[in-house]
């Protein structure tokens, strides 16, 4: 079947597989739109999508609803389903971030996300030094211990889990609900770093040390030290990811 779709078949829908099929089609269609395979302005037929992915119109309808809520699609009577330009996308949604990190403009997206992180996480660290509960201080310390224990496999899910716990706890410890709501965005960046082989196999000892410094500074109530160390973490992470991404693009394998 022609058109801009990739040849990536999806299993035939049967009863309890609805959610699995929904997520699979959503992922593939989202990637195609964000990656530019299906460019802005393209009109999409629900019947074509159903046939292409071998799913029911019910699955397609739910997928379209999600993509519409993310700003990737618009649905209008007598016009149908149309792909939106990136100006309309909800760029802060973790799904959109994940698809952008998987796309051809990953380097640009990493730079944008690093700028966002540099404005969020150092502030969160400063506030956490003033507001963190004893339990949250303990959780930060436990996360650092976990990162240290798994640092020889920093590209593993285990290290990612501890790193994610640290950053989620940090944002929650800020006591600011808007900063806390950004945790899924930060965690998606961390997951993308692992998913796209942008993490070294062995963690940089300095990065682990800085996480420990943030945790200890928060526990000591030293807002300035916590903020400074967190800014160093974001800067180091950005530099390393961009360097690794450039190396990945140049590697013919």
Per-residue pLDDT of 164-210, as tens digits, reads 999 999 999 999 999 999 999 999 999 999 999 999 999 999 999 99
Residues 70 and 101 in one domain: no
Range of the domain at 196: 94-250
Distance CA 167, CA 107 (A): 22
- 7: in domain: no
CB 198 within 8 A of CB 245: yes
pLDDT grade for 143, boundaries at 50, 70 and 90: very high
DSSP state of 201: S
**Stretch 237-245: mean pLDDT, rounded?**
89
Give the residue, 243 or 222, on which the prediction is more confident. 222
How many helices (H) and strands (E) are present in the chain, helices listed first? 11, 3
Name the residue among 121, 116, 208 with its Cα closest to residue 173: 121
Predicted confidence at residue 244, as pLDDT, reads: 85
pTM: 0.85
- Is 192 part of any domain? yes
DSSP 8-state symbol, 5:
-
CA distances from 171 to 116, 144, 178, 206, 244 (A): 14, 15, 9, 22, 26
The torsion angles phi and psi of 43, rounded to 5 degrees, stand at: -95, 135
Q: What percent of the chain has pLDDT over 90?
A: 85
Which pLDDT score, from 0 to 100, does residue 11 have? Answer: 45
Residue 14: its pLDDT value, please? 56
Question: Looking at the structure, do residues 100 and 71 belong to the same domain, yes or no?
Answer: no
Out of 70, 88, 106, a domain closes at 88
Q: Print burial letters for 82-115: b (CB count within 10 Å at least 16), e (below 16).
A: ebbeeeebebebbbbbbbbbbbeebeebbeebbe
Shared-domain flag, residues 113 and 237: yes
Residue 9 lies in a domain: no
Residue 250 pLDDT more than 50?
A: no
Q: Are residues 163 and 232 in the same domain?
A: yes
- Give the pLDDT confidence of 100-124 residue by residue, as tens digits: 999 999 989 999 999 999 999 999 9
Q: How far apart are CA 141 and CA 208, in angstroms?
A: 11
Q: What's the number of domains the chain is made of? A: 2
Query: How far apart, in whole angstroms, are the C-alpha atoms of residue 127 and residue 116?
Result: 17
pLDDT at 7 over 50: no
């Amino acid at each position: 079947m022609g058109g801009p779709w990739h040849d990536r078949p999806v299993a035939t829908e049967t009863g309890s597989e609805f959610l699995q099929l929904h997520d699979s089609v959503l992922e593939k269609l989202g990637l195609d739109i964000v990656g530019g395979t299906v460019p802005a302005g393209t009109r999409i037929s629900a019947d074509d999508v159903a046939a292409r992915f071998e799913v029911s119109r019910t699955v397609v309808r739910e997928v379209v609803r999600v993509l519409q809520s993310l700003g990737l699609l618009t649905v209008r009577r007598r016009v149908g389903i149309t792909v939106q330009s990136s100006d309309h996308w909800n760029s802060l949604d973790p799904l959109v971030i994940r698809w952008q990190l998987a796309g051809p403009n990953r380097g640009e997206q990493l730079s944008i996300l690093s700028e966002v992180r540099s404005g969020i996480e150092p502030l969160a660290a400063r506030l956490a030094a003033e507001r963190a509960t004893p339990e949250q201080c303990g959780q930060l310390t436990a996360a650092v211990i976990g990162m240290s224990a798994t640092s020889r496999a920093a590209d593993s899910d285990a290290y990612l889990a501890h790193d994610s716990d640290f950053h989620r706890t940090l944002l929650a410890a800020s006591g600011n609900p808007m900063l806390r709501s950004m945790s899924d965005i930060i965690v998606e960046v961390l997951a993308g770093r692992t998913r796209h082989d942008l993490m070294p196999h062995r963690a940089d000892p300095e990065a682990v040390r800085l996480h420990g410094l943030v945790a200890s500074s928060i526990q000591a109530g030293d807002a300035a030290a916590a903020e400074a160390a967190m800014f160093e973490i974001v800067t180091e992470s950005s530099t390393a990811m961009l360097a690794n991404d450039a190396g990945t693009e140049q590697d013919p394998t």
